[in-house]
Amino acid sequence: MYTLRELAAGFQVSERTLTRKLEVGELRGYKVGHQWRVRGRDWLEYTGAVSGPRVFVVANAKGGAGKSTFTTNLAVLRAQQGKRVLLLDLDPQGHLATLLNMSVDPDRTTVQLLNEELRLPRNAPGSRERWHTLWTDLLQSVPGAGEHDALSRILLVPAHNDLADLERANFHRTKPIEYALREALDALGTLGVDVDEVWIDTPPNLGPLTRNALMAAHYVVSPFAKSDLGLDGLERLMILVEQYLEFNPYLRVAGLVMNYGNPRTIMHNEIRDTIRTRPSLAPYLLDTYVSEAERFNQAPRLGLPLVLAEPSSSSTQELRRVLEEVDTRVQ
């Protein structure tokens, strides 16, 4: 539920304009006393965000859980199905570019995408052109697109270490801080860029960058390593998702996926049993897990995501099953 002040601050429209739209029924809302309130769903419908590409965020507060590995490989598998996929890296570590063997131009990254100074109110004169110029500049093909059909359907906006500075400085200046990505993706939707799905990699924390992704996403996929500490990160993420439902009612958990699985170990089975006893996690645990396999560490040296470098490996099959199971849950 939003107040007009929140909408005005978050989306850079005036409260007067919003009031007018509410009064003529262009935007749905209702009054509490003299104050208008707008439901998140009504706002998203109004902004047209619902009709854009499906947006997946891969998140976990814990480092090394497999976020970047999953983001890259699931996006490539999706592109193999013929979908056009946009990869966005919101982790200052910038691992998506590494995994896709791409060198990063520091002037063409998610830093520019989220940087407030570059943004204009959505309906301001020249805003569309400015967004068009920005997105056109930032969307980049990945190496190997000429040889691999799937890679030709992938666009990447890589990350740069400066994202960490942006997180510290810029994001704390105006409130609310979490709308920058939502706004950028809304703008992308209006430019007619041909993208079916967006996959977002996030840093190993639940700070402003991950929150931006939760504000913009429809589905959360969360790989986790098999340890008790891993579960702690998952529970914190689930609490945050619950809170964000108020601002982004389309947010759903598409799956918690065990990574580094090995059913012959006690830990593997104990962790799965523990999850099944926790109401905040149990409904989302995927049957499929991804086994621990040395080939994941070698893939970056081959210059290709694992699912392309080793298409018939057991790890590729497992990742394919993860995507299938995610799909049965999001349909």
| Cβ 282 to ligand ATP shortest distance, Å | 22
Show Cβ contacts of residue 208 under 8 Å, excluding neighbours closer than 6 positions.
167, 171, 172, 177, 178
Question: Least distance in Å: CB of 63 to Mg ion?
Answer: 8
Which residue, 21 or 321, has its beta carbon nearer to ligand ATP? 321
C-alpha closest to that of 250 among 7, 39, 101: 39
Binds ligand ATP (CB under 6 A): choice among 292, 309, 313, 330? 292
Residue with Cβ nearer ligand ATP (49 or 234) = 234
- Using DSSP bridges, classify how beta strands 30-32 and 140-141 pair: parallel, antiparallel or unpaired: unpaired
**Least CB distance to ligand ATP at residue 104 (A):** 16
Tokens 């977002």 — which residue? 200
Kind and range of the H or E element at 20? helix 15-23
Considering CB distances under 5 to 8 angstroms, the limit depending on partner class, which of Mg ion, ligand ATP, none binds residue 64?
A: ligand ATP
Category of 66 on φ-ψ map: left (φ > 0), alpha (ψ -120 to 50) or beta: left
Of residues 12, 47, 69, 248, which one binds ligand ATP by CB under 6 A? 69
Among 59, 293, 307, 323, interactor with ligand ATP by CB under 6 A: 293
Q: How far apart are the first and last CA of the chain?
A: 26
Does 47 bind ligand ATP (CB under 6 A)? Our answer is no
Phi then psi dihedrals of residue 289, to 5 deg: -130, 165
d(CA 159, CA 177): 19
- List interacting residues with Mg ion (CB under 5 A): 67-68, 95
Among 131, 260, 284, 289, binds ligand ATP (CB under 6 A): 260
Of 55 and 58, the one with the shorter C-beta distance to Mg ion is 58
Size of the site for ligand ATP (CB under 6 A): 18
Distance CA 17, CA 135 (A): 27
Considering CB distances under 5 to 8 angstroms, the limit depending on partner class, which of Mg ion, ligand ATP, none binds residue 290?
ligand ATP
Binding site partner of 305, from ligand ATP, Mg ion, none, Cβ cut-off 5-8 A by kind: none
299: which residues sit within 8 A by CB, 6+ positions away? 99, 305, 306, 309, 310
Smallest distance, ligand ATP to C-beta of residue 231, A: 15
Do 58 and 237 contact (CB within 8 A), yes or no?
no
Smallest distance, Mg ion to C-beta of residue 92, A: 10
Does 49 sit near ligand ATP (CB under 6 A)? no
CB of 230 to ligand ATP, least distance (A): 10
| DSSP character string of 156-200 | EE---TTHHHHHHTGGGTSSSGGGHHHHHHHHHHHTT---SEEEE
Q: Which amino acid is at 47?
A: T
Residue 22 has which token pair? 């509410």
- For ligand ATP, the closer CB: 36 or 296: 296
Interface mask toward ligand ATP for 198-227; x: CB under 6 A: ------x-----------------------
Q: Is 109 in the site for ligand ATP (CB under 6 A)?
A: no
How long is the chain?
Answer: 331
Residues that bind ligand ATP (CB under 6 A): 63-69, 91, 93, 95, 204, 259-260, 290, 292-293, 296-297
